Amino acid sequence: MNNIVSPQFDAQGRLRHLLTLDGVPAAEIEALLAAAEPLIATPGVAADYPAALAGRTVATLFFEPSTRTRCSFELAAKRLGADVVHLGAAGSSAAKGESLADTLYTLEAMNVDLLIVRHKESGVCEKLAALAGPQTAIVNAGEGRTDHPTQGLLDALTIARRKPDFAKLGIAIVGDIAHSRVARSAVTAFTALGATDLRLVGPTAWLPEEPPFAAAKHFTRLGEGIAGADVVMALRIQKERMNSAELPDSSSYFENYGLTEARLAAAAPDALVMHPGPMNRGVEIDDEVADGWRAVIREQVRNGVAVRMAVMMRLLENRADREEVLV
Ligand code: CP
């Protein structure tokens, strides 16, 4: 790992920030998933988490709406003993024109250790990482259409716990892949873990060919794309990243690509159904599937808290090993 040149690795090749899964070695992804596994909560059971972030401060800076990712980071940080502050575009001094760089410097002056950032523009987290002091780690919580690394990790963990051999899996991703940071990070993680049978299913305009999708097969018919698939992941139609001409008609979209029990008969009998959320029921997926026995959608959410704990612990462990920040 020592030869990796990337803004998210330190001089020793360890994760310094988490900006993207692109270029993260399989061993690092596997280590994060292994670290997350014992942190997965059992419903109804009071958990005994390590106080690994006691005395640390985590700031969540969300400039786009979020339920899962924001709550998940906040719960993950609090369960590990951190102090947590939240800033959004509307309630912060960003609304008065303060730059992101000045927001970073302001939070650093308050001794923030981890800055969790969601933004509509790709590249924002990398810019913040370049400006951050040695004590601060930046975590991308979803930016633009390019990266949502902790979502990719939680999706990989959810599959790995049920079907651990990625090399043997047919994984179909259905819907608006073109605008999806979830799909990019998920495919990057699945490929690193050995997946080769990756299928993109949707209208032609939503089936990208560039990396990380270069090796994926394209299907415009749902039945063909999910035939025999072990995992079927539906995506949200990301209207906020489309112009009005690109917006599909919801009912014809559901007719062609909505997941129903009848259509899932084409997939493997024990196929997992995933969705990163938020779901548009009756458009991307019907109620019977979303709440049915194949769906692991709430497992994805549960595993997400553990993955975010593991990521934050990892970044702070790596920081503790860098002498320059200990002065
Ligand atoms: N999956 C996901 O990123 O959901 P939120 O937008 O609710 O965080």
Find out whether the beta carbon of 277 lies less than 6 Å from any atom of ligand 1: yes
The answer to whether residue 29 scores a pLDDT higher than 90 is: yes
Phi/psi at 5 (nearest 5 deg)? -110, 105
Q: Say what the pLDDT of residue 244 is.
A: 82
- Nearest-angstrom CA–CA distance, 121 and 89: 13
Judged by phi (left if over 0) then psi (alpha if -120 to 50, else beta), residue 69 lies in: alpha
Index of the ligand 1 atom closest to the CA of residue 148: 3
Q: Are 176 and 238 in contact (CB under 8 A)?
A: yes
Determine the residue of 60, 66, 176, 235 to mutate for testing ligand 1's pocket, defined as the one with the most ligand atoms within 8 A of the Cβ atom. 66
Percent of the chain exceeding pLDDT 90 equals 86
Helix locations, 149-249, DSSP H: 149-162, 181-192, 222-225
pTM for the structure as a whole: 0.95
**Residue 271 CA to ligand 1 centre (angstroms):** 23
- Whether 240 lines ligand 1, by a CB cut-off of 6 Å, is no
Q: What is the mean pLDDT of residues 241-261?
A: 89
Record the tokens describing residue 236, joined without a space.
Answer: 């949200």
Asked if residues 167 and 194 have their Cβ atoms less than 8 Å apart, the reply is yes
Q: Quick one: which atom of ligand 1 is closest to the CA of 304?
A: 1
Res. 175: pLDDT tops 80: yes
Q: Is the CB of 304 under 6 A from ligand 1?
A: no
Phi, psi dihedrals of residue 220, rounded to the nearest 5°: -100, -10
**Distance of alpha carbon 292 from the chain centroid:** 23
pLDDT tens-digit series, residues 131-148: 999 999 999 999 999 999
Residue 30: exposed, middle, or buried by beta-carbon count in 10 A (0-12, 13-18, 19+)? Answer: middle
Cβ–ligand 1 contact at 228 (below 6 Å): no
